Amino acid sequence: MERKIDLINKIKNFLKRKIIISHLIISIAVFYFFIHPLTMVIYWFEFSNTTFSYSLLLEVIGRRIQDSFSFHMMGMSTAFIILGGLVGLGSGIYSKKILKKNKTLKDQEAQLGKSIKQLIANGESEKVEFKSSLRYDYRKEEINTSLEKVFLKTIAGFLNTSGGMLIIGLDDQGEILGLNRDYKSLRKKNRDGFELKLMQLISVYLGTENCPLVHIMFYHINGMDICSLEVEPSKTPVYLSLDSALAFFIRAGNSTKQLTIKEAVNYINLKSN
């Protein structure tokens, strides 16, 4: 087992070195075989005071390429090799860091994927609610923008209580339905368009100041996207602008409840004490 682990580590170390070495070789080759002769061609036209023509260009290129690899140009060739090596070393180290960062992100995403699956398996609760979609009505099999209000009520309830998580793309039993139907209804038909729509709704109906309290994550499970919104509790009351009036919602068990004006005042007073 230890030998197998050592072998895997050696392979990983070799691949890491291979990235830097490949960048070094490619960069040196580009600087020596391309940039060096090109520089000499440009230099010749710059200082020869000769009228430019394409036929002369081809002739000069041929001569300059031969000269660039001759012995008396060894000093300049060496300078370009060193310069190419430095550029290659820098790009190799940078690429290695990028690959390492991407691997870390993939590992984190995999870990988050396991956590979200466990969360789904536990079902809905006071802190967790599932929504089949943002605006697609599975019963009518059409887009129904009034469903967006249901989404907003849940977010308002979490904000006014103790926070929670809303997961979109699941039915009530936790079966994955995905977000494809919602995607198709948007101008930008992907995750970015969906996230933009969510934040627009929160900003317009709940207030821009509450956007930082909602954290959006996407997961790809069983070939389909789902979206989770982790909502922090608000320190101040949050009202939902609903049908030209303001409404106040809280979480009550595993559902969202609208309070009357009197109930809202009592709840806010009780919470602030």
User: Residue 113 above 60 pLDDT?
Assistant: no
Q: Where are the domains of the chain?
A: 2-107, 128-272
Confidence class for position 7, pLDDT limits 50, 70, 90: very low
Residue among 34, 13, 15, 30 nearest 88 (CA):
30
Residue among 241, 171, 258, 236 nearest 205 (CA):
241
Query: Crossing angle of helices 36-48/74-122, nearest 10°?
Result: 130
Return the pLDDT at 192: 95
Tens digits of per-residue pLDDT, 198-207?
999 999 999 9
Tens digits of per-residue pLDDT, 63-77?
766 776 677 677 777
> Tokens standing for 216?
């959006």
Listed range (60-69, 118-127, 134-143) with the worst mean pLDDT:
60-69
Yes or no: domain 128-272 corresponds to CATH 3.50.30.30: no
Confidence class for position 241, pLDDT limits 50, 70, 90: confident
Determine the Cα angle at 165 with ends 254 and 146, to 5°: 75
- Separation between Cα atoms, residue 121 and residue 128, nearest integer Å: 11
Average pLDDT, the chain: 83
Does pTM surpass 0.85? no
